[in-house]
Structure formats: C-alpha cells, structure tokens
C-alpha cells in the first residue's frame, strides 16, 4: 500500500463531523477504492470538548485553522469553516502556498477569491476541489469539469437552495403564506435564524458564479449576477401558477446570448411537466444544455451533513487516486490565464415569457387600456385571466393575470411602467419570468 492521504479538517460542525464519521465507517472501502489509506491527522474547531461522534484521539488538535494549514502533518486541507474572508481565506491560501491540496465546501469563499486560489493551485501543482460547494451531494462539478469535455454548453440552470425550494413547495402543498413557511423552515432547521442569505438569492448566486465559469470558460463574476429573492412571492402567485400549469422555483440561470452571458437568480415559473418542476422540498437539481448530449438533469440532496460530506469524500478520493507529479485538471476547467473576461449580457434584452399579475380597480376601460399598452410594445398574450376580488361587486377590485409569449424584458418593464402611471392599480404589480414557456 502506498503512502496514505493525510487529511486536516478545519471546521467540525455538522459537515465536518459527518465527514469524520464517514472516513471512519467507510475506511476499508475507501482504502480499497483509492489504493491508500485516508487518515485524519489534524483537526481544528472552535470547541475542542464537543462530542462529534467520531474518534479524534489520533488527530493533532489545532486551536487555529491557519496554524493547522501551515504546520500540521497533512497533504490535503478540508476547509469547512465558511465565510468569504477571515480564517477560511487565510487557511486555504496558506495550505495552497505550502503545496497542500485543498477541498472546500465554501461557495462564498470561492465566488470571491476563486481566481486567486486557482492561480496559486496551478503554480504549486496542487488540486483545489469544491464539489460540495454546489448543490450538496450532486456531482455537478466533476460532470462539467471532466465528463462533459468536448461538449459546448449553451445554458446551465437549476434549483440550488434547499431553503427556498422547501418554502415554495410548502406554500403550494399546504396553502401556507411565505411568512408561515419560512417560520416552519426555521423550526425544522432548514432555514437560519437570519435567512436573508438564502431567501434573497445570494447563496444561489455564489453557486451560479462557479457553474458559469465551468460552463463558459469565463473568469468568475459573482458581482455581475441579476438577483431577485422569493420574499415577494405570495400564495396568490402560487395558486395562479398552478392553475396555469406552472410551478414557481427559485432558479439560478446562466446562458449565452447575443449580448454576452446572462447570470440571473430569480423566481421563475416552469411548466408543471418539466423535470425541474417536480423537484420538491429541500432537494436540488441542476440542468446542463449541451450540443452533443442535449439536456442533462441531475438531482439529489442539496444540503445536510451526510450529503455534503459525501461530496467531500468524492473530492478526497480523486486526490488520493491522482499520480504525484502529474498535471492536474484546472480548477475551473481551463487554466486561469485562458479564462476569458466575463461580458455581462444586457438584462433588458432578455427574451422569454412573463407572468404579470395586476390588482386593478374594477371599472370600465381598464382591461382595454392594459391591452393597448401590451399591443404598443408588441407583446403577444398567451392567456389573460380576470378574477374579481371581494365577491365581485362592481365597485371592488379585480385581479388581472397575463401570460405572454416570448418577449423582451425591456418591453415588459416599459409596459408595466406605463400601466402604473394610469392610476388604476391598487397594489404593486407582480412580474415573474417563465423559463421556456413555448416548450411546455
């Protein structure tokens, strides 16, 4: 048996503890598969005395993760601390500069510093793996970085945040408001006490930035993502989508256009019969559209200790099987110097279908006025639904739901702006994009 892989784990929370357990319970299987032992030789965490359900007595303890990265007897650092800066950044950089391989589940760190880390990894001839940073246990990074070599990718999209997917699923299944579903998600541990990072779309955006680089060979551009969260989605939107044959999902989408690359995270209506529409609760799914294979969809657990630890194990196994001195696959699929500068597409030129919900005064001429504004912008309507509120009395309000055929973002936004100026809206308009409506 060749020399084993000596692993240092920085961060022993839910994922770190699950990783330690898997490395213990799967030790014999991993040794046979990898041709060498995978041994935890050093660990670091905030609380040394906490019970973590795996044996730590053989591992050297470090109070500081950076010291572990610099001095421990390891050849791979597993960073599970979290955060885009601070100790996580210092530890990963120290390990790479030292010539250690790195495995991380930290999408925020990579979205901000991935280019710097990739350059160091290439210079030092070490591996930087991050399967666990995107969609939990789904092996999407390996698929895009290796298995899809030779394919031209035109679009990558998916459900990449379990918290949001759980909330949107429960709203429909149990006729619950967004606020009640969020509270339930927090009670069950699916949402943090401060859920803003998830429900405002930031978590999905970090993952999307990494997928965009892998898909299109661009430099990371996490600050160039169009971002909307799910806080404005109401139970009325959920019901209307269902009646029209759609589900609402928070999607991260990256695709090539004539004006550049779109990176966008926002609530999206997808046809009920599509695969992504059937991905419920905390499950994640990522779809890749290619020239050779068409569309590939991978789904599975997007979070949780064991799912994320499983992805880390896969990354460690890849490192264990790699030949010393061999040239390793570039971190983002292409060498850093060959990654092209990201060119952001003009979002107002985005083309697609739209769901528009308007609360209006129930009086003569309103519908005709709305139709006129639509026609003025050359917007073709797929369907229009009028629904009276408060029992349907003539002096009450009504809801008008419009579903468009493919049109531009600019046309929709201009139309809604003109309608708002007319003075007959009784509430803020709701606009939700529809992904590939004409394929439904």
The CATH number linked to 158 is 3.30.360.10
Q: Is residue 216 part of a domain?
A: yes
Decide if 10 is inside a domain. yes
Confidence bin at 51 (pLDDT 50/70/90) = confident
Q: Is the pTM of this model over 0.95?
A: no
Q: What is the mean pLDDT of residues 355-384?
A: 94
Contact at 8 Å (CB) between 360 and 396?
no
Q: Is residue 344 part of a domain?
A: no
- Report the C-alpha gap between 424 and 52 in whole angstroms: 60
Q: Do 176 and 267 belong together in one domain?
A: yes
Contacts of 133 (CB under 8 A, 6+ apart): 104, 105, 106, 107, 110, 141, 207, 210
212 falls in which pLDDT band (50, 70, 90)? very high
Q: Is 342 inside any structural domain?
A: no
Q: Is 245 helix (H, G, I), strand (E, B) or coil?
A: coil
In a domain, 389, yes or no: yes
67-91 pLDDT, tens digit each: 999 999 999 999 999 999 999 999 9
Residue whose C-alpha is closest to residue 30's, from 7, 47, 64: 7
Determine, yes or no, domain membership for 416.
Answer: yes
Tell me, yes or no, whether 297 and 309 share the same domain.
no
Catalytic residue among 107, 112, 207, 249: 207
What pLDDT sits at residue 440? 36
Mean pLDDT of 58-62: 92
Mean pLDDT of 36-53: 89
- For the question of residue 207 being annotated catalytic, the response is yes
| Residues 219 and 231 occupy one common structural domain | yes
393 and 327 assigned to the same domain: no
Residue at 222 is within a domain: yes
Same-domain pairing of 132 and 20? yes
Q: Answer yes or no: do 279 and 311 share one domain.
A: no
Backbone phi, then psi, for 400, in 5-degree steps?
Answer: -115, 120
The CATH number of whichever domain residue 9 belongs to comes to: 3.40.50.720
Length of the chain equals 440
296 and 151: one domain? yes
Here the CATH number for the domain that contains residue 363 is: 3.30.70.260
98 DSSP assignment: H
Tally of domains within the chain: 3
Q: 316 and 172 share a domain?
A: no
Range ranked top by mean pLDDT from 2-16, 157-171, 395-409: 157-171
350, pLDDT greater than 50: yes
pLDDT of 37 > 90? The answer is: yes
Cβ atoms of 201 and 211 within 8 Å: the answer is no
Tell which phi-psi region holds residue 53, choosing left (phi > 0), alpha (psi between -120 and 50) or beta: left
pLDDT (0 to 100) of residue 181: 95
261 found inside a domain: yes
Let me know whether 260 and 330 are in one domain.
no
- The answer on 147 and 73 residing in a single domain is no
Share of the chain above pLDDT 70, in %: 96
Residue 154 and residue 51 share a domain: no
- Sign, CA dihedral 231-414-439-242, equals positive
- Same domain for 53 and 172? no
- Token reading at 352: 């697609």
Per-residue pLDDT, averaged over 409-415, amounts to: 95
Q: Which residue segment(s) compose the domain that 88 sits in?
A: 5-137+305-337
Which of helix, strand or coil describes residue 296?
strand
Q: Share the mean pLDDT of the chain.
A: 92
């Amino acid at each position: 048996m060749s020399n084993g892989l000596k692993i240092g784990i920085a961060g022993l929370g839910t994922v770190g503890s699950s990783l330690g357990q898997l490395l213990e319970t799967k030790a014999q299987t991993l040794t046979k598969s990898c041709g060498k032992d995978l041994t935890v030789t050093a660990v670091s965490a905030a609380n040394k005395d906490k019970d973590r359900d795996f044996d730590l007595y053989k591992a050297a303890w470090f109070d500081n993760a950076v010291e572990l990265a610099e001095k421990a007897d390891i050849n791979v650092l597993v960073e599970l601390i979290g955060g885009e800066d601070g100790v996580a950044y210092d530890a990963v950089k120290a390990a790479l500069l030292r010539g250690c391989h790195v495995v991380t589940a930290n999408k925020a760190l990579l979205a901000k510093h991935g280019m710097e880390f990739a350059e160091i990894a290439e210079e030092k001839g070490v591996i930087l793996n991050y399967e666990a940073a995107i969609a939990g246990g789904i092996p999407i990074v390996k698929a895009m970085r290796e298995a899809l070599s030779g394919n031209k990718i035109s679009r990558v999209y998916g459900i990449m945040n379990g918290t949001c997917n759980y909330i949107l699923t429960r709203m429909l299944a149990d006729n619950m408001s967004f606020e009640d579903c969020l509270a339930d998600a927090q009670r069950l541990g699916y949402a943090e006490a401060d859920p803003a990072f998830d429900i405002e779309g930031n978590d999905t955006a970090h993952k999307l930035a990494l997928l965009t680089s892998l898909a299109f060979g661009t430099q990371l551009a996490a600050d160039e993502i169009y971002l909307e969260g799910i806080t404005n989605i109401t139970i009325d939107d959920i019901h209307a989508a269902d009646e029209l044959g759609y589900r609402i999902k928070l999607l991260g989408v990256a695709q090539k256009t004539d004006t550049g690359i779109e990176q966008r995270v926002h609530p999206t209506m997808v046809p009920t019969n599509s695969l992504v529409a059937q991905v419920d609760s905390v499950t994640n799914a990522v779809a890749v559209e290619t020239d050779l294979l068409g569309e590939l969809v991978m789904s599975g657990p997007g979070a949780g200790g064991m799912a994320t630890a499983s992805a880390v194990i896969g990354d460690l196994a890849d490192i264990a099987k790699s030949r010393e001195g061999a040239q390793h696959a570039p971190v983002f699929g292409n060498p850093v110097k060959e990654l092209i500068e990201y060119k952001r597409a003009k979002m107002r030129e985005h083309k697609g279908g739209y769901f528009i919900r308007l609360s209006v005064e129930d009086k003569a001429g309103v519908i005709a006025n709305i139709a006129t504004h639509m026609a003025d912008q050359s917007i073709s309507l797929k369907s229009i639904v009028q629904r009276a509120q408060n029992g349907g009395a003539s002096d009450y309000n009504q809801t008008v739901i419009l579903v468009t055929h493919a049109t531009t973002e600019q046309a929709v936004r201009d139309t809604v702006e003109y309608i708002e100026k007319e003075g007959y809206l009784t509430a803020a308009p709701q606009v939700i994009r529809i992904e590939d409506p004409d394929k439904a």
